Amino acid sequence: MKRILAVGGMILVLILLLGCSVQEDNDYGLIKEGLDYTQISGIEIGTDVYKKNVTNRNDIEIIASLINDIQIYNNSFEDPKNIEEYDIICFKVYNSEGNINTSLSISKDIAFYENKWVSIDKESYDRVIYFYENADYEELRDPLLLEAKQKRIDRKEKPISEALKGTWISETGSLIKFDENYLYQGSQYEYLFDYNIKKTDDKAMEVSIYGTKGIFVKGRELSILDIKMDETKTCMVMKKTMTGGSTCNDKFIYVDGDNITLGSFDEYFFYKYGGY
């Protein structure tokens, strides 16, 4: 009976928070096709190193409805908002086979979905926070996220030139590696380049890349990398300028010697500097 009353009370409050439903026009919905709660076996809701695993059918329906009601206001950001004081809420939606088929993150006024930040309606975050704080599930501490968080803290004091060394994974899953002298690229690290750090400050550097093989490219400057890192030096954005003038931007997260990825692409840092 307590469970029924609790769910009923939560539904009532959420109805009041929702006001008029926005589902009537899903052209601007964050997830265009919507979530079918009948095909969901569970939803993990996480913030920082904590999470709750939602398994009750009524609660799954509530969360699916909240996610389906998230509306996009703007697909790009001319002036990123200063919202670091708000927690990022992450969702992992599991299908009937127990596999993750949808993941997204939201914060105040913004959402990260399909590797892209967008502006969303102002009410969605408050609804999710209300559900998370009042949902009758044990709040679990994720040991892997806790370990990764401590390792990130430990990297803060590294000089940026030292923090660059090691393995980095891109948003597409490709890896690059820096050692004392070389940059390695390719699925087997088969592409080898010399590099020279030209300028540095606490969180940024300029790096020149040189060819190592071939009559026409050996010893020749091929590109310049403008690099920014977050305060933990585990998230990196890179603007590559080729000698011909063309440019491209990439995002990377540091992978440590234990093969632990120390971050995620929904970090505020990537929201702020993703277009760098």
Residue 173: per-residue pLDDT: 94
Residues 62-71: what's their mean pLDDT? 95
pTM assigned to the model: 0.84
Residue 6: per-residue pLDDT: 47
Asked if the model's pLDDT at residue 17 lies above 50, the reply is no
Compute the chain's Rg from CA coordinates.
22
Distance, CA of 213 to CA of 208 (rounded, Å): 16
Distance, CA of 188 to CA of 40 (rounded, Å): 38
- Please report which confidence band the pLDDT of residue 186 belongs to, taking 50, 70 and 90 as the band edges: very high
Residue 34: per-residue pLDDT: 92
Residue 86: per-residue pLDDT: 77
User: Is 2.40.128 the CATH number for 151-273?
Assistant: yes
- Pairwise pLDDT comparison (87 vs 40), residue with the higher score: 40
Annotated domain spans of the chain:
2-141, 151-273
Residue 274: per-residue pLDDT: 74
Among 162, 163, 171, which residue's Cα sits nearest to residue 248?
A: 171
Count of H helices and E strands in the chain? 6, 16
Helix axes 57-68 and 2-18, enclosed angle (nearest 10) = 10
Asked if the model's pLDDT at residue 143 lies above 90, the reply is yes
Whole-number percent of the chain with pLDDT over 90 = 72
CB count within 10 Å of CB 97 equals 8
Asked if the model's pLDDT at residue 199 lies above 70, the reply is yes
Residues 202-207: what's their mean pLDDT? 94
Residue 259: per-residue pLDDT: 95
Asked if the model's pLDDT at residue 74 lies above 80, the reply is no
